[in-house]
Chain A
Amino acid sequence: MRMRLGLDREARRGLLLLSPTAGYALLMLAAPLVMVVTFSFWTQDYLDIDTTLTLNNYREAWSEPIYRVLMFRSLRISLIVTLATVLLAFPVAYFLSFHVTQRKALWLFLITVPFWTSYLIRVFLWKVILGFNGVLNTALLEVGFIEKPLTFILYNANAVVLTLAHAWAPFAILPIFVALEKIDRSLLEAAEDLGDGPLRRFVRVTLPLAMPGVIAATLIVLIPTVGDFITPRLVGGTEGLMIANMIQVQFGKANNAPLGAALAVSSMVIVAAVSLVIYLAGKKLGGKVE
C-alpha cells in the first residue's frame, strides 16, 4: 500500500514538473497544428475566411500541375540531397570512429562549427562560389581546366543539392558516428577470425550495425530539407523552386492562406509516409544481423 502511494506521489511530481513544458508544446504546437488542418478545409474569400468545410483546397493542391510539379520536385530534390549527404558523410563518420584515436571531440567540434554560422550567409556564399564570375569558375579558368565559365552549376537543382548537402552535413555525420561507436569491436574481430575479408566484414557486420544511425541521419536530413525555402530561392533559380516557396507565397503575396495550409498539410503527409517507409525498410535491413 505504502509503495503504491509512493509511486503515485512520484508520478504526480514528475507530471507536475513536466506540465509547463508539455503545456507549452500543447498550446503552441498541438493546438496550432490542429488549427492549420482545420484551416486547410476553409476558403479564402478576399479578405475574409469562409468557414464552410470544403475539400476544394486539397483538390486544387493535388490536381493543379504547378503544385504537383513543385511537390514532386521537392521530394525528388530532398531524396537526392539526403542520399548525397548520407553517402558523403558515412566515410567521414567511419574515419572518425575507427581511425581517429586522439582528439575525436576536436574533430567533431570542427565539423559542427560551419553549421553554426549564419545559414542565410552560408547559402549565399555558395552563390558566390558557384556563380558565373564565381570563385569556382575563376579558379578553373585560371588553371585552364575550362575555357568558358560553367553555367550548369548555379540556379538549378544541382546547386540546391550541393548547398543542402553542405548545410546538413553535421546532422548526417553525428548519428552515423554514434552508431559506429556503439559497435562492439570484438564482433569485427570475430568476423575476421571466421574468415571474412575487410569488405565482407564491412557489408555483413559493420553496415547492418550502423543501420540505425544511417536511418536516423536519413530522416534528420530528409524531413527538414523538404520544407526549406531559402536555398531554392537563393541558388535554385526557377528550376529549383520547391513546395515551401509556394507555401510561403500563398501565405504572403498570393493571400490564400487556406490553400497554403492545405499544401503544408499535404507535404507533411507525403514526407511522413516516405519517412515511415524508409524507417521500416531500415529496420528490416538492420534487423537481419540480430
Chain B
Amino acid sequence: MRGSGRRGAAKWLSVYAVTYMVFLYAPVILLPLFAFNDATVVAFPLSHFTTKWFVVLWQTEALHGAVRNSLMVALSTAVFSTVLGASAARAAARYRFPGKAPVMGFIMLPLVLPEIIVAVALLVPIMQMGLSLSLWTVIAGHVLICTPFSIAILSSAFQGFDTSLEEASLDLGETRLGTFRRVILPLVMPGIVSSLLICFTISLDEFIIAFFLTGTDVTLPVYIWSQLRFPTKLPSIMALGTILLALSVVLLVLAEWFRRRAARRQGIEASVTGGLV
C-alpha cells in the first residue's frame, strides 16, 4: 500500500519536473521559431519559413562592429580571468598560509554581488580620475566577475591533483617552472580550457557592467539593448539570438567535455554540478 503511494508520488514529481523543464525552455524555443518566421511582427500565428532575417544581420554594419568588440572583450576576459583564477585556485589548493579564507572569500565576492554594484564601483573611480570609458574598462569589470567562476572550475582540478607527481618531478631534477610546464599544466589543461570557455561565454552575454562601462564602442548585448526599442528590428534580433544560443550550447558542451576529461585524467569522478557549487 505504502509502496504504491510512493510510486504515485514519484509519478507526480516527474510530471512536475517535466512541466518545469517546459517552463525553462518556453522562451528559448520561441527564439528559432521567430527567427525563421517571415513576418515583421514577433507574434503568433507563424507565417512562412524564411532566412531573410539572417541576411539582414549579415548586412548590418553596426552589428559587425559590436560583434568584433564583444569578441575582443570576451577573449581578453577569458585569458585574464583564467590566469588569475588558476593562480588563486592553485594557491588555495596547494599551500597553507595565514589569511587564506578571508582573502579567497573576498576574491569570490563578485559572485554574490549584484552586478550593478560592481558596475557602479568601477564607474566612480573612472569618473573621478577623468579616465575615458573604453572596451578596456569593460574588460576590467568582466575579469572581476569571471575570476570567481574560473576559480570554482579550477579548484576542483587543483584539489584533485596528486602532489607526489610534482615531488617526483622535482626529485628527478626538473626545475619548478619545468615541473609546472611539463607535469602540472598538462594535467589541469582541460580544466583551463573549460574555464576559458565559461569565462568567454559569460563575458559575451554580460550586459549590466558593459552598459555602464562602455564608451563609444559598444559590445553585443549593449547593441541588442539599443535595438530592442525598434519593433522593426525585432525579427533580426531573434535571428541573432538564435545564433548566440547555438554558439553558447556548442561552447558549453565543449567546456563540459573538457572538464570531464580533466577529472578523468586525474582519476576522479567529475562532479555533476560543474564545480560551480
Contact = CB atoms under 8 A, between A and B. Distances in A.
B246 to A, nearest CB: 10
Contacts of B116: 227-229, 244, 247-248, 264
A125 interface: yes
Interface in B19-54: 20-21, 23-28, 30-31, 34, 41-45
A60 to B, nearest CB: 17
A252 to B, nearest CB: 9
B252 A32 contact: no
Given A18-B103, A30-B106, A117-B31, A39 B124 contact: yes
A29 B121 contact: yes
Number of chain B interface residues as a range: 35 or more
Query: Which secondary structure dominates chain B's binding surface?
Result: helix
Contact of A118 (B16, B124, B224, B270): B224
A174 B273 contact: yes
B114 A39 contact: no
Contact of B85 (A21, A129, A169): A21
Interface stretch (B60-68, B87-95, B165-173, B188-196): B87-95
B228 to A, nearest CB: 6
B276 A174 contact: yes
A96 B10 CA distance: 11
B72 interface: no
Interface string B151-182: 10000000000000000000000000000000
Query: Which secondary structure dominates chain A's binding surface?
Result: helix
Contact of A227 (B83, B87, B114, B151): B114
A215 interface: no
B26 A129 contact: yes
A169 B17 CA distance: 12
Contacts of B45: 138
Interface residues of A, number: 86
A39 B123 CA distance: 11
Contact of B95 (A10, A117, A223): A10
B35 to A, nearest CB: 11
B217 interface: no
B120 A99 contact: no
Contact of A113 (B2, B14, B87, B249): B249
B199 interface: no
Given A118-B244, A120-B224, A121-B241, A14 B28 contact: no
A178 interface: yes
A205 interface: no
Given A11-B98, A18-B103, A178-B273, A120 B120 contact: no
